[in-house]
Structure 1
Amino acid sequence: MTTRRLDRVGAREGAGPSVQSILIVAMAVWGLNVSVVKVLTGVLDPIVVAAVRMLVAVIAISLILFWKRAGVTGPTWRQMLGLVLCAVLMVYANQILFVEGLLRTTATNGALIMALSPLFSALLAAVAFRERLTPGRIVGVMLGFGGVAAVVLSHPGAGLSRAGVGDLLLVAAVLSFATGGTIVQRMANHLSTLTISWAIYAIGALLLTVHAGLWTTSQASATVVPDAWQWALILFSGVFATALANVIWNHAIGRIGVARTSVFLYLVPVFGILFAALLLGERLTLWHLVGFLAVVAGTWLGTRPASAAPTPAP
């Protein structure tokens, strides 16, 4: 390994703490977004909500590109195929599978299945990039999953129903997002994360818009035109929770890898229940504190850089 490459690896590992701090903020925004989207889908068609959020996200990412004067670098045909595949996996398929899955299963099952995303990402990264699954990372995954389980199952009325079509759809949604993340990590070596984010959400928003125009899952209580308050929620969800948070997410994948980045997803259910308690009046218990501590410990263990093996002398 050359000295320049060693410096590059050291720079990536040294950037970890700042990336981790920003990721925690992004996870808090995603946790708040759970309550926001829950309100929106109660009055608007879920597919329409997804399509409008993605369109707002594309506009926000475009403004970020203009502000940074970054521009969108022209990808090769092979990279373009990768971007289309990421858009289908991480935006279009993920959104539809997630919405349709939650319509057919319980929220408890959904939260537990979503917590499998770091495990899927770590396994996919181990296969695709030959990343070593250290004992610390394995313990971190187990602690994180246990913390999420403690938080979700302690909720009043929580329980596990038998597996069904909805559970399988949610597993597919988690797997599609994790698979797209491994492709993002590979492309981040050649394209900027802003370019990747803009392309993925532009293509995904187009696919969702066409889907919403051709077929929707309208509920009896769903309305078509949002009012001012609903537009404010859509703007928050599209700009902060979708555009900015996902730009941070893809940037972190390019810096510390998909396996270490995905462990932070354990914080989303914890923040989600916390904001639901503050904003929607749900009751917090001691189990929430226990689960939060387990999630923090699991995140720390799962994102620690592996000890570098001694390099043999030439």
Structure 2
Amino acid sequence: MNPRDERSPASGSRGLSALLLLVTALWGLNMTAMKTIATYFDPAVMATWRAAIAATLMGVLLWRQRATKQRTRMNRRQFATAVFCAVLMVYLNQILVAAGLSRTTATNGSVAIALSPLVSSLMAAFILRERIGLMRIVGVLLGLGGVLIVVLKSPGAHVAGAGWGDVMVVASVVTFSIGGVFIQRLARETDALHASAMIYACGTLMLALHAIAVGAAASLTAWVPGFWPVVLVLFSALIATAFGNLAWNHAIVKIGVARVSLWFYWVPVFGVGFAALLLGETLSLWHVVGLVAVAAGTALGTYSRA
């Protein structure tokens, strides 16, 4: 492994940290938007919309860069890796999240999604043979504890017995984490935009075929239920999906999937924060404690020697 990956990946990289914090804030806000969007769209149609819009934007960016940045075509191995990542990170992830969250409580879903950094660290160690240092382990566990405090101390939080919905959400976390490990390799060989565009193009095709196969795309109104629902989908696709995933994959190239994944702890934290801001939910001292734990866990896991 490159020696620079053994040290602080963010030495002099406050900009990257700010970018990741912005992405997690947008994803936290997107959690609120998705609840509204889900009342208008079938999950398969909604996932196809978001992936298609994101893929289109990435394709436009690639086309605009054609004169200033020379890119070579992906070889067979790289293309196969992109298809594999599309299956895991776009198709299976979207289907499992949509199906899982509809079968479990919001609290259970948030707790399951918060396992992402832990799973990503384990996958990076298993597949990429990255060494997991003590400070990384402490950071992962501290961040997870902070998320649990924030989520479980929120108004109306209730942990129900584990069921198939929870299994599906955890499976979506695993597929996203494994895909992130392979993106780390692919994007370093090509670049984040090229890899992301190919992955979302392939993923869009898979989701569209799935929507047709399950009969979710039988009518025009299934795709265009109204003006404002489409506007919300555009926001979700352009800001959360396209920009968010491009920035996320760019960060993976810079500092590795295991360290980037620690920032995922901020998503449910921002989700609770936006719920308090937009929906008037009450915050308590416990939320401050959880926030401090998440911040400390992120700092330990990403800035300390791994």
1:63 alignment partner in structure 2: 60
* Residue-by-residue CA offset, 1:38-71 (whole Å, 9 max, x unaligned): 1000122111111101111011112222333347
Displacement after TM superposition at 1:13 (Å)? 5.3
SS at match of 1:167: helix
1:41 alignment partner in structure 2: 38
Please say if residues 9 and 303 of structure 2, whose CA atoms lie closer than 8 Å, have aligned partners that are also in contact. no
| Closer, same or farther: CA 159–24 of 1 in aligned 2, 3 Å | same
Q: Distance in 2 between matches of 1:296 and 1:17?
A: 14
1:1-314 alignment runs, 5 A limit = 14=11, 16-69=13-66, 70=69, 73-215=72-214, 224-306=223-305
Percent of paired sites with the same residue: 47
Please say if residues 16 and 256 of structure 1, whose CA atoms lie closer than 8 Å, have aligned partners that are also in contact. no
| Closer, same or farther: CA 232–127 of 1 in aligned 2, 3 Å | same
Q: Aligned letter for 2:291?
A: F
Displacement after TM superposition at 1:141 (Å)? 0.8
1:311 alignment partner in structure 2: none
Displacement after TM superposition at 1:11 (Å)? 11
* Residue-by-residue CA offset, 1:139-177 (whole Å, 9 max, x unaligned): 111111111111111122212211111111111100000
Displacement after TM superposition at 1:72 (Å)? 5.5
| Closer, same or farther: CA 7–103 of 1 in aligned 2, 3 Å | closer
Displacement after TM superposition at 1:210 (Å)? 1.1
**Alignment RMSD (CA, Å):** 2.2
1:312 alignment partner in structure 2: none
Q: Aligned letter for 1:127?
A: F
Q: Distance in 1 between matches of 2:199 and 2:71?
A: 12
Q: Distance in 2 between matches of 1:165 and 1:267?
A: 26
Q: Distance in 1 between matches of 2:3 and 2:116?
A: 31
| Closer, same or farther: CA 198–15 of 1 in aligned 2, 3 Å | farther
SS at match of 1:43: coil
Q: Aligned letter for 1:44?
A: F
* Residue-by-residue CA offset, 1:88-126 (whole Å, 9 max, x unaligned): 000000000011111111111110010000000001111
Give the TM-score, by structure 2 length: 0.92
| Closer, same or farther: CA 287–197 of 1 in aligned 2, 3 Å | same
SS at match of 1:168: helix
Q: Which moved more, 1:241-250 or 1:181-190?
A: 181-190
Displacement after TM superposition at 1:15 (Å)? 5.7
Please say if residues 91 and 201 of structure 1, whose CA atoms lie closer than 8 Å, have aligned partners that are also in contact. yes
Please say if residues 10 and 16 of structure 2, whose CA atoms lie closer than 8 Å, have aligned partners that are also in contact. no
Structure 1 stretches lacking a partner, 5+ long: 308-314
Q: Distance in 1 between matches of 2:70 and 2:8?
A: 25
Q: Distance in 1 between matches of 2:293 and 2:3?
A: 34
Q: How many residues align?
A: 301
